[in-house]
Structure 1
């Protein structure tokens, strides 16, 4: 499963990371193999098939040292897009955040209108160009 996620990440974001390889993405995922501490990865699976993934991590964007907790790496296999998998992954990361006593989470998206995140109640903070890509930075206060 981890190899599949590494391949997705490399295909999607590899061109943005200097010197990236599938293997480097795979090694980085080792840091996320936690269940009750950050960083961690949430997976949507059906049997042995991974449908999608999302990460909960710290300090994703170096230009925001004051913003600690982030959702990132949200990816759903093209075969399963449009089936609420991404929404369920995001909601699960929010649940995990609460269980770890995290009350505010941030993210960045290339959907400059906020896309799915806006529909799920995330608020736009600002649009920036980060590592050569225009992104919208968003946040959400997580409550029970």
Structure 2
């Protein structure tokens, strides 16, 4: 597996946007795949947030992860987030998400990020608990987890 930055592969932005849109759907701010792609362009960085990481197997894009700064009204104390962890279906359960998460955590350390938060469904809590994340809140069907860096 090879890891890279979206900043080095901007041509893959439409694929990532389509994956995200199909996985998580439309939102108020990203009602179309094209709008989501425009928003994701902001993550084409290497040393400042937001940063998107890409995962490749045999030069094929298979996954993503992001580090973000978010100012969310309902979570004012939760500043830095691991988000957009996605692995294509045929590559799931093979350890690729673990490698992406580790890479993102290492980058967070170099940026002096003190803690990373994430939001996931119950089905994904086990993956993140293996990395040391702990549940700090539960809202409906979502769990908020944190890892001290």
* Same fold per superposition (TM over 0.5): yes
Correspondence for 2:14: 3
Aligned to 1:46: 57
**Number of residues paired by the alignment?**
137
TM-score by length of 1: 0.88
Q: CA deviation at 1:119?
A: 1.5
Give the structure 2 partner of residue 35 of structure 1: 46
Aligned-pair CA distance for 1:3 = 1.0
Deviation at 1:46, TM superposition (A): 2.8
Which residue, 137, 140, 143 being the options, matches 2:147?
A: 140
1:24 pairs with 2:35: yes
Tell me the SS of whatever aligns to 2:136. strand
The answer to whether the 8 A contact 1:112-1:135 is kept is no
RMSD across aligned C-alpha pairs, in angstroms? 1.6
TM norm structure 2: 0.86
DSSP-derived class of the 1:64 partner: coil
Alignment partner, residue 73 of structure 2: 62
Quickly say closer, same or farther: Cα 1:112–1:62, change in 2 above 3 A.
Answer: farther
Q: List alignment gaps of at least 5 residues for structure 1.
A: none
Where structure 2 has 5 or more consecutive residues not aligned to the other structure, the ranges are 1-11
Contact 1:52 1:77 in 2 (8 A): yes
Q: CA deviation at 1:54?
A: 0.5
CA contact (8 A) 1:6 1:29 kept: yes
1:89 equivalent in structure 2: 100
Runs of 4+ aligned structure 1 residues displaced above 3 Å come to none
